[in-house]
Amino acid sequence: MAVMNDAAVFLDKDGTLIDDVPYNVDPDRVRLAPGVRSGLIRLHERGFRLIVVSNQGGIARGYFPEQALILVEDRLRDMLRRFGVPLAGFYYCPHDPNGRIRRYATSCTCRKPRPGLFQRAARLGRLDLRRSWCVGDILDDIEAGHAAGCRSVLVDNGNETRWELGENRVPDYIARDMDEAAGFIIDASDPGRPIRPQSFARP
């Protein structure tokens, strides 16, 4: 087993790691998305540190209090722990410029597609962002990962509907689910195994 130590896979939460239930903070409604169990086991076995990075604008909009995320985080950690996968970090942005809770209604550097969550995690965890990856289900995740210096994989599960391409918004790979994303990341992180670039055919 290769030990990466300073390399992470940054995981979007809603729609990538778990099924997308808008603004959900009920732990009983948390369900792992397809391919997550097998994909995360493979990444963990290769030594990647697994870190959640999530926009939680529902806090700024007043849909739920910030403290409610604690139960969701605890539930997620427990689900992954059952098959031997620890989370190395859980980072979220509570801001939304259009929010109605004044303390959170602000522009920030942590709301994806900005890279602040990644940079904070890297600083606290002494991670090498150049050796790290981001996996998300929309192009804002891809842009945030690239802006932080990571390579990025898009899980194309139908959640990205606008396909607005631009600087940093073209994924390094498009996968059907987390397991396929994990396989690509593992192969592409092996210096002895050349990887052909994937053509990007989306509009």
- Place 200 in a pLDDT band, splitting at 50, 70 and 90: low
The string of pLDDT tens digits covering residues 134-165 is 999 999 999 999 999 999 999 999 999 999 99
Q: Does domain 8-188 have CATH number 3.40.640.10?
A: no
pLDDT at 167 (0 to 100): 85
**Of all residues in the chain, what percent carry a pLDDT higher than 70?**
92
pLDDT at 122 (0 to 100): 98
| Residue tagged active-site, from 6, 12, 20, 128 | 12
Mean pLDDT over 26-38 rounds to 97
pTM of the model: 0.94
Tokens 């076995």: give the residue.
45
Length of the chain: 203
pLDDT at 191 (0 to 100): 74
- 14 is known as an active-site residue: yes
Mean pLDDT over 118-122 rounds to 98
- Place 190 in a pLDDT band, splitting at 50, 70 and 90: confident
pLDDT at 115 (0 to 100): 98
- Place 197 in a pLDDT band, splitting at 50, 70 and 90: low
pLDDT at 25 (0 to 100): 97
The string of pLDDT tens digits covering residues 63-101 is 999 999 999 999 999 999 999 999 999 999 999 999 999
pLDDT at 2 (0 to 100): 52
Q: Hey, where are the domains in the chain? A: 8-188
| Residue tagged active-site, from 14, 96, 141, 179 | 14
- 12 is known as an active-site residue: yes
pLDDT at 1 (0 to 100): 45
